Amino acid sequence: MFNLKTWKNFDFILFLTTVFIFAIGLAFLYSSTYHFSYKHNGILTQSFLIRQITWFALALLIGLIIVKVDYQKWLELAYPLYGLNFILLLLVLLSGVAKLGAQRWISLGNIGFQPSEFSKLIIVLTLARYLGQREGVCGKELAVCFLIVGLPFLLIVKQPDLGTALALIPILFAILYVWGARLRTLILIFAAFGLSSPFLWQALKDYQKRRILVFINPDADPLGAGYTVIQSKIAIGSGGLFGKGWLAGTQNQLNFLPERHTDFIFSVVGEEWGFAGAMLLLILYFVLIWRAYSCAQQTQDSSGRLLVCGIIAMLSFQVVVNVSMTMGLMPAVGLPLPLISYGGSSLFTTMASIALLLNIGMRRTVF
């Protein structure tokens, strides 16, 4: 539990930035589902908002529990959580719910959740615990770390959920680098991944191959695999400097842009708030990452520092990839925008991550 001394270290800037980003997400979740209201009298739009707000409230409650319990206790739970998540990933493949050609969800009555989303934070915890207890870089530690990441990576790719699987790679490399692995070694390992790309290409699903080919030449299939990215670029480009106004985006409101309340919600921000609004959101993300980095610098515990750096890598990768794919700078791989995109599993994972950052920051000088 925390005492008055730890409470004085609570990072209000990080917390308020998180709430502000989520509030922006609510505004654009409403906008991206607003066009349905003409047919459903607003019921569908309201249901999206109510669910997202409910998930956020539950995530705040869980976050409070995470903050109150010393993060060392959560590190002790890393291995059991890893095992439980691995079982859930197996269950997804055996009896999971399929949507849009992917089998990623487990359904419990009216509640569905995505174990692959939880994998990101659980792997950060597991790597931080394992490496935090060890000093000196050797082949054994590297092999174990690649095994920790590799097993869930393969199961997640099988679903298929390429975006989440790819998010595990920067987490691994960031934690290994901060732990003390030589940059040359990491570059050689990354190069080995590159040499294996022909085999990885064969393992991709047809729709994933089409997305990559369309990324190279979007006009090759403008009404098929390239449609979403083309519409997204039109939406962002048409927003200009200050945007068309909230609820006034034509690509959004006229239903030209698919997945606009989930993976492509940044396109709605760009269309309706323009370059200025998009930059405001990116600045808020920068503040969030900056506060996390500040926490890492002040943390004296090795496991805590690795945990913070893993979370930074996870959140940074998601923001960079999501924004890049909406602008056609990267292939569409299906990664949500933290705190903005609709979805409970992603929101819980992000909020739990931020709660751990607050937890570590509060105890950075308490031993």
As a whole number of angstroms, the distance between CA 299 and CA 75 comes to 15
As a whole number of angstroms, the distance between CA 90 and CA 92 comes to 5
If we measure between CA atoms, which residue out of 2, 9, 106 comes closest to residue 362?
9
Query: 292-313 pLDDT, tens per residue?
Result: 999 888 888 899 999 999 999 9
List Cα–Cα distances, 219 to 41, 225, 251, 256, in angstroms. Answer: 37, 10, 18, 17
> Is residue 347 very low, low, confident or very high in pLDDT (cuts 50, 70, 90)?
very high
Strand partners, 102: 99
Which of 172-181, 184-193, 329-338 comes out lowest in average pLDDT?
184-193
For tokens 């979740």, the residue is 29
For tokens 């993976």, the residue is 263
Quote the distance between the C-alpha of residue 57 and its chain's center.
19
* Residue 367: predicted pLDDT: 43
Residue type for 59, please?
A
Domain range annotation of the chain: 4-362
The answer to whether the beta carbons of residues 155 and 89 sit under 8 Å apart is yes
What does residue 333 show for φ and ψ, rounded to 5 degrees? -115, 0
Residues 6+ apart with CB under 8 A from 283: none
For tokens 């990885």, the residue is 200
List Cα–Cα distances, 294 to 180, 312, 360, in angstroms. Answer: 19, 11, 11
Helices (H), 133-182: 139-158, 162-179
As a whole number of angstroms, the distance between CA 169 and CA 176 comes to 11
As a whole number of angstroms, the distance between CA 81 and CA 91 comes to 15
* Residue 78: predicted pLDDT: 97
For tokens 């079982």, the residue is 87
Q: The pTM is what?
A: 0.91
Q: What percent of the chain has pLDDT over 70?
A: 89
Is the pLDDT assigned to residue 366 strictly greater than 90? no
As a whole number of angstroms, the distance between CA 98 and CA 94 comes to 11
Query: 117-132 pLDDT, tens per residue?
Result: 999 999 999 999 999 8
DSSP 56-80: HHHHHHHHHHHHHS-HHHHHHTHHH
Query: 3-27 pLDDT, tens per residue?
Result: 666 778 889 999 999 999 999 999 9
